[in-house]
Amino acid sequence: MLTSDDVDDFAQRLDQATLEAQAVTQLTTTKAFSLAEAYTIQRAGIALRKLRGDELVGLKMGLTSRAKMVQMKVEVPIYGHLTRSMILEDGGTVLRASHIHPRVEPEIAFLLAKDLEGPVTPAQALAAVDCCCCALELIDSRFENFQFTLQDVVADNASSSRFVLGSRVRPRDTDTGNLGMVMTKNGVVVETGSSAAIYEHPARSLAALANQLVSLGEQLKAGMIVMTGGATAAMALSPGDRARVDVDGLGSAELFVV
């Protein structure tokens, strides 16, 4: 079992790694910990961001598609916290030097009109949605070689770094269940897929998040953004790259790396 000093130490280590863009060794090689403890470390890390004036704007699901589970060799869906400083406007630029080994993945995001409390079915979860949009998530594991165990990646806030929401929002009754998704790098198609890859349906990912939060004392609130998880494997980025996602009926989102 971790002591509260262990939790603080691990959260600080990951926070420093983020601020300095320096990879660290997986935490679990220092001391084993449970999944519940991993989420405690994650929340401690978010508390450190809040001390710097950052604020919670939403939550994300991760490892909800087979492609992501296979790529990362972790087969359990997880969630993380999204803060205001992670928002990048559509077409915005990120510095390669501020990241360790950035990757980008195509996603569907929901904006909530109402508080959402589990247990809920996907249909009930959708009733709390205001609108949906396409999104890109920039992930940047704080661990060496982008390798981690389930506990490590949860402690590391599910590798969150930045995210871009597409500007074309669609109403909640838009069926996001099987939309074609194309991700390009510098105009060249790198990944193609369907939103069906996201936990069978992005709404199912949203419901799973609400249901997971029940036992953890956290809530999905009206106004929050929920990223439902990458539909394909993530794509590595280098300076000069332009990454873009196009989703059937939802438009596009893009970002640049310098």
Binding-site ranges for ligand OOG (CB under 6 A):
62-64, 68, 72, 105, 137, 139, 141, 153, 158-159, 229-230
Q: Is residue 193 part of the contact set for Mg ion (CB under 5 A)?
A: no
Task: Choose, by CB under 5 A, the member of 230, 231, 232, 237 that binds Mg ion.
Answer: 230
158 binds, among ligand OOG, Mg ion, none (CB under 5 to 8 A by kind): ligand OOG
- Tell me the closest approach of the beta carbon of residue 58 to ligand OOG, in angstroms: 13
Q: Is residue 137 part of the contact set for Mg ion (CB under 5 A)?
A: yes
Question: Given the rule CB under 5 A, which of 13-21, 142-150, 205-213, 225-233 is the region that contacts Mg ion?
Answer: 225-233
Question: Given the rule CB under 5 A, which of 37-45, 132-140, 178-186, 239-247 is the region that contacts Mg ion?
Answer: 132-140
Cβ–Cβ < 8 Å for 179, 199: no
- Tell me the closest approach of the beta carbon of residue 32 to Mg ion, in angstroms: 26
Question: Given the rule CB under 5 A, which of 38-46, 122-130, 211-219, 224-232 is the region that contacts Mg ion?
Answer: 224-232
Binding residues for Mg ion, rule: CB under 5 A, are: 137, 230
